[in-house]
Structure 1
Amino acid sequence: MTVANDILEGNPRFGIPRQTVSPGDLVRAVEGTLAEFLSGQTTALDDVDPALGRFARTTRDLVLAGGKRLRPTFAYWGWRGVVGPHEPVEPVLPALSALELMHTFALVHDDVMDDSATRRGGPTAHRIFAAQHSNAGRLGDPDHFGTTSAILVGDLCLVWADQLLARSALSTTTHFAVRSCYDRMRIEAVAGQYLDVLGETEPSAWSVERALLVARHKTASYTVQRPLQFGLALAGTVDIDVAAVDEAYNTYGIAVGEAFQLCDDLLGVFGDPVVTGKPAGDDLRTGKPTALLMLARQLATPAQRAELDPDPAGAVNPADGSGGSISSADLARRTEVIVETGAVAQVEALIRRRVAEGIEALAGAPIHDDARAALTELAVTSTDRPA
């Protein structure tokens, strides 16, 4: 982990003293750890066959293509909150970085399920592989090849996450505790994703409460709640009230994680694609029953609800009632209707309440003050963002 160690050991090229880890320092350390790990993995596959090397390099590029690195950040502060500012971070860097590989797995598979065209300002994995197929003049359907390859990318990232996690310098007891939290996180992410997919097939049976349940499992669990508890597990045996910290992290994680997803719901409709790196309006096109859309339906007049509801075949009803795919004008009208119902204001109020609840949970928790301050700031910045 040469790059990560350079950053965290006070290498004069960076001018960063050891253990004074700002958010930027942590992100660079995680990305350095990932880059070094992925370099070795890519070389190993390239030695088997050049095509596998190209496959691995595409996967590597997807992992390193940016992102907020929130999951390692929450895990870091969950760990730092109990071990304090003087514990060396190098032993746990592989574990923190493994969360980004898990995240890439989730993103790539999610994009396949949603048939999304862009992610982080570039083409999604299945679109990249479809383009490679076409450019090479291969036989068969490029889209099928792209989907198949993207599924394998996600699978590979999940295996790589396991391998990188195993490189952490932990005792056997600590490693088992960390692994238990990690496995629970993965199961909950898959469960939440299934409910998300199911919701699109029966939106009329959905509710605000069920949309929030999906948010809790699909997003809150593996973005905030479990990474914090993952960090706590990484600390091993510590001289604190672990149960009290775990309870505080759990309450904070669910509240801030749900607020994070509610913010995503708003960005999915109102965000600037140039900033978010994803097209706006996809949730409205598919009728995905997000908390925002469910609140809008709940608050809507009968006429407004008719403009928001999908038709029996699953396609969204245009405003003129003609059926078929939704047009840009119809999409704009649906966006207006959501605002008119007051749903946006209610979602913004839900976000504020959950952020306040999360911050309050930390107030009496037996964690170090620098971690409390960092998590308080993260609760605000991760839920009030342009992307």
Structure 2
Amino acid sequence: MTIRLARRTLLTGTAAATFAPAMAVRSGLAQPATGSFGALDLVVAARAPTTPTGLTLSPEGRMFLFMPRFDEKTVFTASEVFPDGRVEPYPSEAANRPDPARPAETLFHVPNGVFDRTNRLWLLDAGLMASSGEPVPGAAKLVCIDPATNVIVRTIPLQSVVTKTSSLNDLRVDVRPGREAAYITDQGQTGEGALIAVDLASGRAVRRLAGHASTRSVDGILKIVEGRVLLKREADGTASPIKGGANGIALSPDGARLYYTPLMSRRLYAVETAALLDADKDDAAVAATVVDLGEKGLTGGLIADSRDRIYLSLQEFNGIGRRDPDGRIEVLATDPRLIWPDTFWITGDGWLYLSSAQANRRPEHNGGIDRQEPPFAIFRMRIDAGPA
């Protein structure tokens, strides 16, 4: 595997000017653009109330952010972002009030959402009331919204495929002739991850590769973000390692392969989607289709483009990488303002968007002190491809 380095500058415009002074000073540390690809642009400084891990855009350009309900600061978990940085509950404030008595009708903990090819918005609800604990019975689900009316049109329960320690994390939806499917990662609260495949036509969901080496958190991984080892740090000074199983996922352009990786792993894997969806195959048969694609660095979110290249959120480097189909990896951008790059989205006109979630600054990593600095940056980069 060869690695090519090409740093990019973040543009400073009206959006950049809305950042706090400390953030503006950091922007001067960005490296100059040196390669043939476009620069990374700051699109909007989103005034989200807390950690925005998920991001998607409609074909018309509407932007949506998702904030898992890690704690009581998460006053709403699904939102729409406006060009002036406003972040408002979506589809409504009422829908974002979690109600254990109405678990299928209210949103609890949404780490991500995506649009499908028919312009429907799908939300993944992990059903959690905090960063840990058992999912609320009946609250784990997929929620489909019609953006034209902002109305929930369908809910698919996931209660049958979650465990007491589940932490559903990322989502891809594949709608094409002959197939309507969703793929979900469960990173697990103890690092024992899994994949979930959903037949959207029938609503049937299956849990796959639970405890498999490719979905499990790797012990002994050292992750350094913003110059500091990432650990769980308690207010009393005690610390413990981070555990994170299956986390980021991406879908190949033909829908035949699902790419995925644990949060605490440097390896990238692929599995055949047909095997994931086939109810007649057991886990051993699914595991036989898993391929270890090798080292790719420590990442969060992944996404594939129409040329089957996989974009990597390089959290240790405040950067974006890309893996070519032949295994070569290129670093496309680095910038200190890109703090915990997380979820990607590719638009039909060739823009790669991503969120800067600042998750490493959350209280659980800093002795109970919240070091996040709103607003939260959303960036984009021009690429020479469309969505997968």
Q: Same fold (TM over 0.5)?
A: no
Indicate the structure with greater helix content. 1
Q: Which has the larger radius of gyration?
A: 1
Per the shorter chain, which TM-score range? under 0.3
TM-score (norm 2): 0.27
Q: TM-score, normalised by structure 1?
A: 0.27
Could you say which structure has the higher strand fraction?
2
